[in-house]
A and B are shown apart, each in its own frame.
Chain A
Amino acid sequence: DAMVIQNPRYQVTQFGKPVTLSCSQTLNHNVMYWYQQKSSQAPKLLFHYYDKDFNNEADTPDNFQSRRPNTSFCFLDIRSPGLGDAAMYLCATSRVSSRGRGTGSNQPQHFGDGTRLSIL
């Protein structure tokens, strides 16, 4: 059974047209992450939620926003996608204790299958 579910698997949007990617989890993990992964590169952390607390990476463009309406769901909004935003977007979850707060933790991250975003 899938535990971290991302929809859609493939998304095509037009240059400049807003797009939303979704992620849901059945693990009841308190931390949810969004990564951008381009071909043959490491996943690059965009931001993460520790419960309801939003934590943005310093180099994440303002074009990228996120929402977490409840524990199970998290959304990635790209306000005005550019050609450089074409990538695989990975959602991950983790259970982090208050002492291990931050992107680092002693618990593994569970990844979804990702959404491959194409920009026309």
Chain B
Amino acid sequence: GQQVMQIPQYQHVQEGEDFTTYCNSSTTLSNIQWYKQRPGGHPVFLIQLVKSGEVKKQKRLTFQFGEAKKNSSLHITATQTTDVGTYFCAGRGNNDMRFGAGTRLTVKP
């Protein structure tokens, strides 16, 4: 069945450094969503990518969807302490949406 792999599992950065998490699917995705979960909180929707090669930006966050629609990335420029949390991708295959394992980001002030 469809699998969504996400790396790295953990990332610790110094405040101001950049951060990237990658998501890879075993099958072609119709769309991919990204969520952020703060410690002790619930997943909060960030963005959805649908088109091959799509790039979207939200302030310091840049989201990309691969040309083959099998991979995606989230890049944060100049991290801040407010960026801490776990970032999940969720990819939709034929009919089901599957979450990646998440990347837990910690930021040292």
Contacts and interface: CB of A to CB of B under 8 A. Distances in A.
Interface of A: 40-45, 90, 92, 101-106, 108-114
Chain A at the B interface: SS class: loop
A106 B102 contact: no
B96 A42 contact: no
Interface stretch (B14-22, B38-46, B52-60, B67-75): B38-46
Contacts of A101: 95
A43 to B, nearest CB: 5
A43 B97 contact: no
Interface residues of B, number: 23
Interface of B: 30-31, 33, 41-45, 48, 50, 88, 90, 92-97, 99-102, 104
A103 B43 contact: no
Contact of A114 (B42, B44, B88): B42
A112 B37 CA distance: 12
B43 A111 contact: yes
A111 B33 CA distance: 14
